[in-house]
Amino acid sequence: MHPVIFNATLEEILNLVGTFAFAESGALLAVRKNYDIVGMAVLALITAIGGGVIRDLIIGAHPPVAFTNANYLWLALLATILTFFAHPLLNRLNVAILVFDAAGLAVFCISGAIKALAYGLGPLPAILLGTLTAIGGGVMRDILAQDPPAVLRSGSELYALPAALGATIIVIIAHFAVNDSLTVGLTAVFVFVLRLLALRYHWRGPRPRRASDTR
Amino acid sequence: MHPVIFNATLEEILNLVGTFAFAESGALLAVRKNYDIVGMAVLALITAIGGGVIRDLIIGAHPPVAFTNANYLWLALLATILTFFAHPLLNRLNVAILVFDAAGLAVFCISGAIKALAYGLGPLPAILLGTLTAIGGGVMRDILAQDPPAVLRSGSELYALPAALGATIIVIIAHFAVNDSLTVGLTAVFVFVLRLLALRYHWRGPRPRRASDTR
Amino acid sequence: MHPVIFNATLEEILNLVGTFAFAESGALLAVRKNYDIVGMAVLALITAIGGGVIRDLIIGAHPPVAFTNANYLWLALLATILTFFAHPLLNRLNVAILVFDAAGLAVFCISGAIKALAYGLGPLPAILLGTLTAIGGGVMRDILAQDPPAVLRSGSELYALPAALGATIIVIIAHFAVNDSLTVGLTAVFVFVLRLLALRYHWRGPRPRRASDTR
């Protein structure tokens, strides 16, 4: 495999964007659930750092970056306060939650796959870890808030697939050493747009035939 | 304590069997829940690798084996595709889910306890880790799919106990250095059969007396 | 930063008290849910060791203390057996669950923050880790038992805030090197009493204004 040298600044930018976006999705869901400001901060923080913590625990990066770089925590708290005061400006909470969630998904599948490659994981494990990093925070958010997880909902639109595709693209461009900022940025945009299009046009994966007896 | 030398091939066979069985239980539950093929793959993968990842994170084996040996991932994906096409051959989904789950439980309690001993954990922690390895994937599966977890359900049959017994037997036979393939294999069969008998005859643990006031 | 030398005996006492208190809260919830004795033990163990395991995994202390010192496990099993026989003496299960949970919260926010500082984490990450250690076990308990998590419940009283305050006090007193047994003990009492007062007088955090359209 080629040595994987991604731009460290680029990686941090992706992580900061994803942290803010996921924190917003958590804080806004907390508003919809009528939690108080402490509950908003808890849900924002867990959504924002959850996926990255899973990623770092699995590759053995101790302590996870959210516990070494306090910027991620401040950013999530900032998103909470912003949401506390400004959420009435968003006239559709659920749409806003989905858009921020899609942005987090788009950048974290990339940062997860990049870090997995940097730690020497093979292609398929890197794709899996990218996907887990992308969906981990949202899964924790939905389970804590007692919503059906976005990633597993009968009748829900493509969610894990855009993330897995984004991670796959990163693994491929790293292999061909074309992993510059432009291709990485375009991959993030691709995942983001794909998820939004899936939501807009209700794209779903094929379903197994229903068994006559589903006892 | 005696040095614990288990057969590495045996351990890998146990892990592969457990991975396939848990992946099937996840994929079949996804069919029952009417998820699409992506949801099936997500639930199959998480059920299959969840317990082993918890085990490896706790003992500090980084990255977990599911991320170093891609066979586990391919096997879970194979189980997903197989289930997608072949599930109508199973005329009772729920029974099939329980049987595959019992098989995963039986082999993972053993592989968890073996690995715990190999990493120098004491007897009681090894039993706990074996049990956690066995129940971890199924707990994640049930919580993600919003089912009551099999391990904690009022009125449910013995689930954690067969796993804890299996792990205990492994700790004992390792102590007396009789840990050959035959005894390990018999232990797996014992746990599997015990769980199925518990389901068939509704064996439950003793319950505390109900308080008159359970507020 | 000052070197953080906390009393090891003190830290172990805190951990033992918290383990027993959280195990009781889990075992009592299991009684309310009508689980059998195995379910009681599972819920007691996970509540008791959950937060500490998260703490140790994040700072990279492998294996977590619950797997190196079997006393924690025996203590949780003892709490289970005690609860099995003695729970009818408690005439209000829910109140007892809340009081034990508050005790666990009070000591684990401290042990989490102390250990985070000892491993070199900065002030904000140490506060976050202390809070996570305190709320982690209870979150797992509530999710496994399919209750809304105490930390995130519309209309619930302050829960994460007392824990975060306790962790903050520890970070401050460690900075000023006044971290003797007395101040640490007083901090635990402060968090415990604050949580109980919040429950008694229904103290809640400020809530964001409801959006007219919460779709």
Tell me the one-letter amino acid at C121: L
The pLDDT value recorded for residue C3 is: 46
Tens digits of residue pLDDT in A186-198: 999 999 999 999 9
User: Looking at beta carbons, which residues of chain A come within 8 Å of C139?
Assistant: 144
- pLDDT confidence of C181, banded at 50, 70, 90? confident
Instruction: Note the maximum CA span of chain B.
Output: 54
- Residues B124, A95: Cα–Cα separation, whole Å: 49
**With pLDDT > 90 as the criterion, what percentage of chain A qualifies?**
69
Average pLDDT on C126-151 reads 94
User: Looking at beta carbons, which residues of chain C come within 8 Å of B57?
Assistant: 57
The pLDDT value recorded for residue C1 is: 43
User: For residue A1, is pLDDT > 70?
Assistant: no
- Cβ-Cβ pairs closer than 8 A, A with C, add up to 102
> Rounded to whole angstroms, what are the CA distances from C15 to A65, A113, B72, C66?
26, 37, 37, 10
Tell me how many degrees the CA angle A198-A109-A14 measures, rounded to the nearest 5. 110
Average pLDDT on C149-155 reads 81
- pLDDT confidence of C132, banded at 50, 70, 90? very high
- Please, how many CA atoms are within 13 Å of residue C8, restricted to the half-sphere of its CB? 0
The pLDDT value recorded for residue A213 is: 46
DSSP chain A: -------HHHHHHHHHHHHHHHHHHHHHHHHHTT--HHHHHHHHHHHHHHHHHHHHHHHT-SS-GGGT-THHHHHHHHHHHHHHHHGGGSS-HHHHHHHHHHHHHHHHHHHHHHHHHHTT--HHHHHHHHHHHHHHHHHHHHHHTTPPPTTS-TTPPP-HHHHHHHHHHHHHHHHTT---HHHHHHHHHHHHHHHHHHHHTT-----PPPPS---
Q: Is the peptide bond before C125 cis (omega within 30 degrees of 0)?
A: no
Reading the block at residue B159, the tokens are 């689930």
> What percent of the residues of chain B are helix, what percent strand, and what percent coil, each to the nearest 5?
70, 0, 30
For chain B, which residues lie within 8 Å of any Cβ of chain C, measuring from their own Cβ?
57-60, 116, 119, 121-122, 124-125, 128-129, 135, 139, 143, 148-149, 151-156, 158-161, 204-215
Reading the block at residue C211, the tokens are 């959006």
In degrees and rounded to multiples of 5, residue B137 shows phi and psi of -65, -45
Tell me the one-letter amino acid at A152: L
Least confidently predicted of A3-7, A28-32, B37-41, C154-158? A3-7
- Residues A31, A87: Cα–Cα separation, whole Å: 8
Cβ separation of C87 and B208 shorter than 8 Å? yes
In degrees and rounded to multiples of 5, residue A196 shows phi and psi of -65, -40
Cβ separation of C212 and A88 shorter than 8 Å? yes
Cβ separation of B92 and A213 shorter than 8 Å? yes
Cβ separation of B39 and A152 shorter than 8 Å? yes
The pLDDT value recorded for residue B179 is: 65
CB–CB of C43/B152 below 8 Å? Answer: yes
User: For residue C5, is pLDDT > 60?
Assistant: no
Nearest CA in chain B to C141: B152
Interface test with C, best of B207, B210, B213 (most C CBs within 10 A): B207
Tens digits of residue pLDDT in A156-177: 788 999 999 999 999 999 888 7
- Residues C22, C44: Cα–Cα separation, whole Å: 7
The pLDDT value recorded for residue B211 is: 54
| CA–CA min distance B137, chain C (Å) | 13
Q: Per-residue confidence of chain B (215 residues) as pLDDT tens digits?
A: 444 556 778 778 888 999 999 999 999 999 999 999 999 999 999 999 999 999 999 999 989 999 999 999 999 999 999 999 988 887 677 888 899 999 999 999 999 999 999 999 999 999 999 999 999 999 999 999 999 998 887 777 889 999 999 999 999 998 887 767 888 999 999 999 999 999 999 998 888 887 544 44
The pLDDT value recorded for residue A152 is: 84
DSSP C79-138: HHHHHHHHGGGSS-HHHHHHHHHHHHHHHHHHHHHHHHHHTT--HHHHHHHHHHHHHHHH
The pLDDT value recorded for residue A177 is: 73
Q: Is the peptide bond before A63 cis (omega within 30 degrees of 0)?
A: yes
Alpha helices, DSSP H, located in C145-202: 160-175, 181-200
CB–CB of B177/A184 below 8 Å? Answer: no
Nearest CA in chain C to B117: C67
Buried (b) or exposed (e) across C128-166, using 16+ Cβ within 10 A?
A: bbbbbbbbbbbbbbbbbbbbbbbbbbeebbbbbbbbbbb
> Rounded to whole angstroms, what are the CA distances from C55 to A41, C17, C63, C140, C149?
19, 17, 11, 14, 19
Mean pLDDT score of chain A: 89
**With pLDDT > 70 as the criterion, what percentage of chain C qualifies?**
93
ipTM, 2 decimals?
A: 0.89
The pLDDT value recorded for residue B213 is: 46
Tens digits of residue pLDDT in C68-106: 999 999 999 999 999 999 888 876 778 888 999 999 999
User: For residue C14, is pLDDT > 70?
Assistant: yes
For chain C, which residues lie within 8 Å of any Cβ of chain B, measuring from their own Cβ?
30-43, 45, 53, 57, 62-64, 66-68, 70, 73-74, 83-85, 87-88, 90-95, 143-146
The pLDDT value recorded for residue A151 is: 84
- pLDDT confidence of C20, banded at 50, 70, 90? very high
Tens digits of residue pLDDT in A125-142: 999 999 999 999 999 999
User: For residue A14, is pLDDT > 90?
Assistant: no
Burial of A200 (0-12, 13-18, 19+ CB in 10 A): exposed
Interface test with C, best of B57, B143, B214 (most C CBs within 10 A): B214
Tens digits of residue pLDDT in C34-58: 999 999 999 999 999 999 999 999 9
